[in-house]
A and B are shown apart, each in its own frame.
Chain A
Amino acid sequence: MIDIRFRHAFPARLGGFQLRVALSAPQRRLAFFGASGSGKTLTLQAVAGLFLPQEGFIRVGGRVLYDSERGFCLPARKRNLGYLFQDYAIFPHLTVRQNIEFSLKTRWQTRKGIKTGERTDELLRGFELEQLAGRYPAHISGGQKQRVALARALAGQPELLLLDEPFSALDPLLRDRVRAQCGQLLARFNIPTIIITHDPEDVLAFADAVSFYQNGVNSACYNLDELEDAGKNAGDVPGELLRTLTGAGENDFPRTLNSAATW
Chain B
Amino acid sequence: MENFSDPALLACILLTLRVAGIATLVSACLGLGLAWGMTRGLAPARRPRGRSVVDALCALPLVLPPTVIGYCLILLVGRKGLIGPLLQELGISLIFSWKGAVVAATVVIFPLTYRASRAALESVDHNLENAARTLGASEWEVFYKVSMPLAWRSIAAGVSLAFARGMGEFGATLMIAGNIPGRTQTLSLAIYATFQAGDDSRALALVLLTSVLCASLLVLAESLTSRRFSQGARL
B residues within 8 A CB of A91? Answer: 128, 131-132, 146
Instruction: Establish whether residues A76 and B234, one from each chain, have CB atoms under 8 Å apart when the complex forms.
Output: no
B195 within 8 A of A: no
Distance between Cα atoms of A186 and B131 in the complex (Å): 19
Instruction: Establish whether residues A106 and B231, one from each chain, have CB atoms under 8 Å apart when the complex forms.
Output: no
A residues within 8 A CB of B125? Answer: 89
A81 within 8 A of B: yes
With A138-B232, A139-B235: A107-B138 Cβ-Cβ less than 8 Å: yes
A19 within 8 A of B: no
Distance between Cα atoms of A236 and B135 in the complex (Å): 36
With A77-B136, A103-B136: A92-B131 Cβ-Cβ less than 8 Å: no
Q: Which of A97-129 contact B (CB under 8 A)?
A: 102-103, 106-109
Instruction: Establish whether residues A106 and B131, one from each chain, have CB atoms under 8 Å apart when the complex forms.
Output: no
Distance between Cα atoms of A107 and B145 in the complex (Å): 12
Q: Which of A58-107 contact B (CB under 8 A)?
A: 75-79, 81-83, 85, 87, 89, 91-93, 102-103, 106-107
A156 within 8 A of B: yes
B150 within 8 A of A: yes
Q: Main secondary structure on chain A at its contact with chain B? A: mixed
Instruction: Establish whether residues B127 and A152, one from each chain, have CB atoms under 8 Å apart when the complex forms.
Output: no
Q: Main secondary structure on chain B at its contact with chain A? A: helix
The interface centre, meaning the residue of A89, A136, A138 with most chain B CB atoms within 10 A of its CB, is A89
Name which residue of chain A comes closest to B48, CB basis. A13
Distance between Cα atoms of A58 and B127 in the complex (Å): 22
The interface centre, meaning the residue of A87, A91, A103, A156 with most chain B CB atoms within 10 A of its CB, is A91
A174 within 8 A of B: no
23 A–B contacts, CB within 8 A, in A order: A76-B130, A76-B133, A77-B136, A78-B136, A79-B134, A85-B127, A91-B132, A92-B231, A93-B149, A93-B150, A102-B145, A106-B136, A106-B137, A106-B141, A107-B138, A107-B141, A109-B136, A136-B234, A136-B235, A137-B231, A139-B235, A155-B135, A156-B135
